Structure 1
C-alpha cells in the first residue's frame, strides 16, 4: 500500500472536537432556549423552534438550534495551532501581494513538512520489516517528488486564494461569499501541479466535502435533515466498493484493490475464478488445484477440490482459505491479524497530526490526549477488522448453506448485498463523529467504480479534464462557506484549511 493511498485513506485523522459552548448565538433572540450540552448526539433538538414559523415559511437568516450550536463549536475548530501565521496588512494592492507571498511560503512549508513526516513514519514500518533501508526512506520522504509536489500544490493554492480573495475585497469594497467563491475556483487550478492520480483523488474528495457542506447548510436552515445519513451513506458506498472488489476490480484503484486483497487474504486468483463462475464459465479444476497448492493447503482442502465438478456453482471455502479447514478459526484469525496490521497505520495517521497541529493541547494535558488518541486508534482498527471478518463470515455462511442443500445460487448482486450488511454493522463501532469522514472517503471510490461500469457499458460518456473542473467547482463552494459559514464544513476540513492555509 503506497504512501499516497494511506495518506488519503479512510483513516483521515480525527483532530478532535473543541469544547461545546452552551450559550445561544449572539444573533438569536432572547427567547431562544438553551441548547443541549452534548456535542455527540445528532438527534433533532427537543427545543427545535421550527414549529413557530409564520405560515410554515422559513424566516430570512433563520438557523435551527443545531445550526446555532454548530456555529458556536466552529469557533474552536481553529484552536491548538502552534504554527505562526504570516500575515501582512491588505490595505493596498502591494500589501495584498505581500500577504499572498508570505501565506504561500507558510502553506508550502507546513504541507511539505507534514507530508514528509507522514511518509517517514509510514516508511519506518517497512524499515522495521526489513523491506527497505532507513537511508532510502529518509531520502524518499524529504527529497522525493511526493512531498515536494504536495507542498508546491498547497503553496500555490494559498497564493492564488489569498491574492484573488483579498484583491476582490479591496476592489469591490466588500467581504462576502462571492470573493471566496471566485478565489476558490481560480485557486483550484493549482491542482495541475499534482499528478493525474492525486488530482483525481483530491477532486473526488473535495467534491464530496462540498456537497456535505451544502447538505449541512440546508440542515442548519431547517430545510431538511436525515438521521444516521452518514452511516447509511457509508454502507451503500461500501456495498458498491465490495461489488467492484469481487466482480469489477478494474474499476477501483490498483493500489486500493491490492490493499483489499492483502487485508482479506482471499487469493486474487480465487476472486477471478469466482467471477468467471458467476458469469457462467465452466470451472478449470487444474487452475483451482494450482491455486491452493501455492497457499499451503490442508488435506481436507486438497480432497475437497479434487472432488469438485466443472459445473460447480461456487468455489467452496476450501478454495477461499485452503490453509485452515475451519471457517470460524479463519475468520477469528482474520479479525486478530487485521487489527494488528492496521493499528500502526492508524497510529501514524492519528498521532502525526497530533504532534504537528495540537502540540499546545498535548503539552497541557498529555495523559488525557494520548490515552484518547490511543483508544480511538484501537477503535478504528477494530472497526476495519469487523468489516473484513464480517464480510468473510457471510461468504463462508453462504457456501455452507449451499452445501446444506439450500438453493441460494451465486448471483453477482449477492456480493453487493453482503457488503451492505457488513458495512452497516461495522460502522456502528466507530465513533459517531468519524462516520461522516469514513463515508466521505469511500463514496468517491464507489462513484468512480459505478461510473466506470456504466462507461464500459456505453451508458455514459467521458469528460476531458473533469478532475480539474470538479476540483475548482468544489473549492469554489468550500471557500465560499469558509468565508462566511464555516460551521457547515466538517471540522476536519475547517482545521485543514486553517492550519495549512491560514487566514484569508
Structure 2
C-alpha cells in the first residue's frame, strides 16, 4: 500500500549493512542511478558519492517537497484501500445479519460507509505518518536543523521514528478495532523478538530444530483453537462477535445439541 519502489528499499538496506556508503563508490551506483533515470532525474542524483539521497528521489520524483508528498500519499492510500475496507465491512452483514440489513438498509449502509471511511483513513494515515516522519527526521529536523550524520538518520533514526509514529494512526479506529489490531500485531512482535534472541542458535542446522519448532507451533495452535471453541460452549460472550458469527455457523449443530443437553 505504501507503493515503495524496491530499489529504494534495497538502497536503505545497503546503508544499514554497509554496502551503500555516502561519499564512497561501493559498486552499487546502478541501483538508484537507474531508478533516478526512470523518475526523469539525472543518473548522478542516485550515486552515493554525491552524498545523501535527495528527497525528490525518496518522493518518487515528486518535486514539491515533503509536505505535498505526504498529502499525496494520504490521498492515494485512501483511494486504493477504500474498496477493500468497504468489502470487509459489508461482508459480515451480508453473511450473518441479512435480516437486520433488510429491515434497515439505509441505516446499515450508512454504518458500513462510516466504518469504511474510518478504516481507510486509519490506513492512509498510517502510510502518511511513516513517510512524513522519515522525511522530518532525515531532512527537515535531522539534516537541515540539527546537522546529524546522514547515515545515522537513514539507517537508524528515520526508520525507528517512522515506525513508532505510524502506530498513532490506530487512535482513529474505534476501541473494538484497536483490540483486533493488537491481536494481529502482538504475535508478529513476539516472532521478531524471538527471532533475534533465538535465531543465532536456531540457524546452526541441527536436525531436531525444525521438528521442535513444528511441534511447538502445533501445540500453540491446538491450545488456541481449544480455548476459543471451549468459550463458544461455555461463555460465548467472551468470543468476538465476528469470530462468534463464523464459529456459530460452522458449529451450529454441535451448539444445538449442547443447548438441548443443558435444557434436559
Match of 2:53 in 1: 315
Mapping of residues 24-173 of structure 1, within 5 Å? none
Map of 1:206 onto structure 2: none
Which segments of 5 or more consecutive residues in structure 1 lack a partner in the other structure? 1-262
Alpha carbons of 1:455 and 1:269: their partners in 2 closer, same or farther (altered >3 Å)?
farther
Indicate which of 186, 192, 195 corresponds to 1:452: 195
Q: Does the 8 A contact of 1:482 with 1:489 survive in 2?
A: yes
Counterpart pick for 2:136 among 393, 397, 400: 397
The higher-RCO structure (CA 8 Å, 6+ apart) is 1
Shift, 1:455, TM fit: 4.2
Structure 2 counterpart of 1:267: 5
Aligned with 1:266: secondary structure?
coil
The superposition leaves residues 137-186 of structure 1 with CA deviations (integer Å, 9 ceiling, x where unpaired) of: xxxxxxxxxxxxxxxxxxxxxxxxxxxxxxxxxxxxxxxxxxxxxxxxxx
Which of residues 103, 122, 127 in structure 2 aligns to 1:388? 127
| Structure 1 residue 380 displacement after superposition | 0.2
Offset of residue 482 of structure 1: 2.2
Residue 114 of structure 2, aligned match among 353, 367, 375:
375
What is the root-mean-square deviation of aligned Cα atoms in Å? 2.5
Structure 1 counterpart of 2:30 = 286
Q: Distance in 1 between matches of 2:40 and 2:190?
A: 38
Query: Which residue is equivalent to 1:478?
Result: 228
Whole-Å Cα distance in 1 between the matches of residues 16 and 239 of structure 2?
43
**Which of the numbers 170, 175, 178 marks the counterpart of 1:435?**
178
| Count of matched residue positions in the alignment of Structure 1 and Structure 2 | 235
- Matches of 1:347 and 1:271 in 2, distance apart? 30
State the 1:357 CA deviation. Answer: 0.7
Describe the superposition over 1:416-464 as per-residue Cα deviations: whole angstroms up to 9, x where unpaired. Answer: 44212221x2011111221111222223333333333444332796512
Match of 1:420 in 2: 164
Distance 1:413 1:481, change over 3 A: farther
Match for residue 305 of structure 1?
46
Task: Give TM-score, length-normalised by structure 2.
Answer: 0.79
Offset at residue 489 of structure 1 (A): 2.6
Structure 2 residue matching 1:288: 3-state secondary structure = helix
User: Which residue number in structure 2 is paired with residue 348 of structure 1?
Assistant: 87
Structure 2 regions of 5+ residues with no counterpart? Answer: 22-27, 204-208, 259-264
Take 2:137 and 2:40, find their aligned partners in 1: how far apart are those partners? 21
Contact 1:274 1:315 in 2 (8 A): no
**2:243 counterpart of 1:496:** no
What is the CA-CA distance between 1:279 and the residue it aligns to? Answer: 2.3
Taking the aligned partners of 2:101 and 2:12, their CA distance within structure 1 comes to 50
Question: Does the 8 A contact of 2:82 with 2:116 survive in 1?
Answer: yes
- Name which of structure 1's ranges 264-273 and 457-466 shifts more when overlaid on structure 2: 457-466
The whole-number CA distance in structure 2 between the counterparts of 1:281 and 1:419 is 23
Other-structure match for 1:205: none
Contact 2:137 2:157 in 1 (8 A): no
Relative to structure 1, the CA distance from residue 336 to residue 445 in structure 2 (aligned partners, 3 Å threshold; closer, same or farther) is: same
Structure having the higher helix fraction is 2
For 1:43, the equivalent position in structure 2 comes to none
Indicate if the aligned counterparts of 2:133 and 2:161 stay in contact, CA closer than 8 A: no
Cα deviation 1:102-157 (Å, max 9, x = unaligned): xxxxxxxxxxxxxxxxxxxxxxxxxxxxxxxxxxxxxxxxxxxxxxxxxxxxxxxx
* Map of 2:99 onto structure 1: 360
The separation in 1 between residues aligned to 2:200 and 2:53, in whole angstroms, is 27
1:291 offset after TM fit, Å?
2.0
**TM-score if structure 1 supplies the norm length?**
0.43
1:117 maps to none
CA distance in 1, matches of 2:202, 2:53: 32
**CA 1:399–1:416: 2 relative to 1, 3 Å:** closer
